[in-house]
Amino acid sequence: MKKIVISLTLFFFIIVFVISSLIPKEREESKLNLLKEKIAQKKAIVHHDHSRYDILKKKFNSPKEVTEACMTCHVEEAREVMKSNHWNWESPQYIKGRGVVYIGKKNAINNFCLGTEGNELACAKCHVGFGMTSSKTFNFKDSTNIDCLICHDNTETYAKAPEKGGAPVATLDLSFVAQNVGAPKRTNCGVCHFFGGGGNNVKHGDLEKSMFEPNKEIDVHMAAEGSNLTCVDCHITKEHNISGQMYSLASSNRNRVYCEECHTETPHEDGILNKHTLKVACQTCHIPIYAKVNATKTFWDWSTAAKLKNGKPYEEDDADGNHTYLSTKGSFKWGKKLKPEYIWFNGTASHYLAGDRIADTTQPLILNPLNGAYSDLDSKIIPVKVMITNQCFDPVYQILSLPKLFSPTPGEGAFWTDFNCLRALDVGMKEIGLPFSGKLSFIETKMNWPVNHMVSTKENSVKCNECHTQNHSRIAGVKGFYMPARDSNSIIETAGFGLILLSLLGVFVHGIVRIYSSYKLKKRG
């Protein structure tokens, strides 16, 4: 008896010790609180008041005059802007197997409005400059073409005019805007980045107008009742080079923004969760759904475009007011509250560039394959929005063909005014200097849009068994490794369950026979 008591107490103490050493400490909360304090201090910095400068008080007759006024002080800044992607619409990127190429809006192909070349007058609404009628003729060396206000206007009144090559609307009080400049606010970034692809949330899915004033459910970082961060709080900018890049255009693993910069690589109280961070990006668990408020475009079929009613283009909308058909663009599908798809990613990407021969036209063409694998030490699992499009391709030359889309004057072959596919393709391909056979076919293309925003509260993050499960695991398609619950070995499963079944059966039969025979023995005996 004494021995039982002694060993029981001993064991009890050991268990208490083990459990207490495993119980999570309050570390994480304090870490997060420190971070919040740091952010609060940063917010207290007051920005420079520009309204006291006389040169900004005069009446400006053109936006260029504002830029000139800015540059009386900010000479170096102008040079910096002219080195930036926002200005150049391209940047040197290294693509494995291809070398260094210059990629950007200028020449890249996407599966939304396909390409900017030949359509600059419309597309340049989102260029930090004035007067871009063509990226070939635009003077990238003339600093008076810089549009300072689109990023630095703090009045929320500055706006660019549609289809004017980047010029602001004519009725603005430029003097008022110029006196009220400051660091970019969410609105400055959002007017372009939330509306890419020609409408709210068309492209990204995680960047849209609800992010101007999100609540905590939409985005913990930008919510007013949260940290109330602006875009540039995370996208830290030095010398007008804004950190962060989008793999629709970028290829190299550089200038990226990482959650870890603030949160460290081991932000959790739970060691097992911290172990995940080596292979799983923060976004994967902390952005369970995107397009939380408004739908994002998920599918685009160019092949149905150009249908006319009574000789006139028309549109059809869904219940939320999203276009489901436009004569100019074809048919669309939209999605709201979407679960991302998941993919290994090491920070490098490849790109389909205009004129690249498509090797296998029976498979969907991925326009921006993201590189990565389990075995690659730099890779993590990231969430992506996959955009699928049925787009024009030339079956003879086996290249994607790009139509001329926009022109202010009818008769120049632009698709959106003339609705003649073949002519638009002919003109479009000529403008970018590529051949067109005169034949039109369609091919399915895919693009990966990494999802990085709309971070949910930690209570709403992805639960263990949304991935660790045999049925419909979120990462069912992410291959190359063994994951408990998702994976098992069919031989061991069959043998194992077989063994269990046999044991149960054996025990059952043995028991029955025993009961029966003892009953018989008793009767006999």
Partner 1 sequence: MKEKIYIYRAFERFWHWMQSLLIIFLGLTGFEIHGTISFFGYRNAVAYHNIAAYSFIVLIIFAIFWHFATGEWKQYLPTAKNLKAQINFYLFGIFKNAPHPTKRIVLSKLNPLQKLVYLGLKLLVIPVMVFSGLIYMNYRYPQEGGGVEGLNIGSIEPVALFHTAGAFLLLAFVIVHLYLITTGTTITSNLKAMVTGFEETENNEETERLKETENYNDNKQLSEVTNG
| Residue 523 found at the interface with partner 1 (CB under 8 A) | no
Say which amino acid occupies 512.
I
Please, what is the minimum distance in Å from the beta carbon of residue 455 to partner 1? Answer: 20
| Residue 495 found at the interface with partner 1 (CB under 8 A) | yes
Q: Which residue has the tokens 């072959």?
A: 413
249: tokens are 């255009």
| Residue 3 found at the interface with partner 1 (CB under 8 A) | yes
Q: For partner 1, which is the closer residue by CB, 108 or 280?
A: 280
Judged by CB under 8 A, the residue of 33, 51, 264, 489 near partner 1 is 489
Pairing of strands 241-242, 237-238: antiparallel
Task: Give yes or no for a contact between 167 and 67, defined as CB atoms under 8 angstroms apart.
Answer: no
Task: Give yes or no for a contact between 193 and 208, defined as CB atoms under 8 angstroms apart.
Answer: no
Tell me the three state secondary structure of residue 380. strand
| Residue 459 found at the interface with partner 1 (CB under 8 A) | no
Footprint (CB under 8 A) of partner 1, residues 111-150: none
| Residue 4 found at the interface with partner 1 (CB under 8 A) | yes
Q: For partner 1, which is the closer residue by CB, 98 or 458?
A: 458
* Measured distance CA(378)–CA(375) in Å, rounded: 9
| Residue 485 found at the interface with partner 1 (CB under 8 A) | yes
Judged by CB under 8 A, the residue of 289, 474, 503, 523 near partner 1 is 503
Q: For partner 1, which is the closer residue by CB, 86 or 486?
A: 486
Q: For partner 1, which is the closer residue by CB, 438 or 496?
A: 496
Q: For partner 1, which is the closer residue by CB, 284 or 448?
A: 284
Q: Which residue has the tokens 């730099």?
A: 378
Judged by CB under 8 A, the residue of 256, 278, 341, 396 near partner 1 is 278
Stretch that binds partner 1, among 18-26, 119-127, 222-230, 453-461 (CB under 8 A): 18-26
With CB under 8 A as the rule, give the number of residues binding partner 1.
Answer: 48
| Residue 176 found at the interface with partner 1 (CB under 8 A) | no
Please, what is the minimum distance in Å from the beta carbon of residue 25 to partner 1? Answer: 14
Say which amino acid occupies 507.
V
Stretch that binds partner 1, among 62-70, 145-153, 206-214, 485-493 (CB under 8 A): 485-493
| Region for residue 419 given its phi and psi (left: phi exceeds 0; alpha: psi -120 to 50; beta: otherwise) | left
| Residue 470 found at the interface with partner 1 (CB under 8 A) | yes
| Residue 1 found at the interface with partner 1 (CB under 8 A) | yes
Paired with 391 in beta bridges are 443
Judged by CB under 8 A, the residue of 9, 14, 75, 173 near partner 1 is 14
* Measured distance CA(272)–CA(288) in Å, rounded: 20
Per-residue three-class SS string for 226-265: CCCCCHHHHCCEECCEECCCCCCCCCCCCCCCCCHHHHCC
Q: For partner 1, which is the closer residue by CB, 341 or 466?
A: 466
Q: For partner 1, which is the closer residue by CB, 433 or 506?
A: 506
Q: Which residue has the tokens 């050493």?
A: 21
241: tokens are 């080079």
DSSP 176-245: HHHHSB-S--HHHHHHHHTSTTTSTTSS-SSSSGGGTS--TTT-TTT-TTTT---HHHHS-EETTEES--
| Residue 512 found at the interface with partner 1 (CB under 8 A) | no
Radius of gyration of the chain (CA): 30
Please, what is the minimum distance in Å from the beta carbon of residue 267 to partner 1? Answer: 16
Task: Give yes or no for a contact between 460 and 290, defined as CB atoms under 8 angstroms apart.
Answer: no
Q: For partner 1, which is the closer residue by CB, 55 or 500?
A: 500
Judged by CB under 8 A, the residue of 9, 11, 27, 316 near partner 1 is 11
Pairing of strands 330-335, 380-394: unpaired
Task: Give yes or no for a contact between 399 and 439, defined as CB atoms under 8 angstroms apart.
Answer: no
Closest CA to 95 of 413, 280, 483, 371: 371
Q: Which residue has the tokens 């549009």?
A: 147
Please, what is the minimum distance in Å from the beta carbon of residue 282 to partner 1? Answer: 17
Judged by CB under 8 A, the residue of 26, 61, 477, 482 near partner 1 is 482
Q: For partner 1, which is the closer residue by CB, 18 or 75?
A: 18
Pairing of strands 315-317, 330-335: unpaired
Judged by CB under 8 A, the residue of 61, 137, 375, 490 near partner 1 is 375
* Measured distance CA(311)–CA(334) in Å, rounded: 27
Footprint (CB under 8 A) of partner 1, residues 185-224: none
Task: Give yes or no for a contact between 193 and 207, defined as CB atoms under 8 angstroms apart.
Answer: yes
Where do contacts with partner 1 occur on this chain (CB under 8 A)?
Answer: 1, 3-4, 7-8, 11, 14-15, 18-19, 22, 272, 278-279, 375, 377, 463-465, 468-470, 481-482, 484-489, 492, 495-497, 499-500, 502-504, 506-507, 510-511, 513-514, 517-518, 521
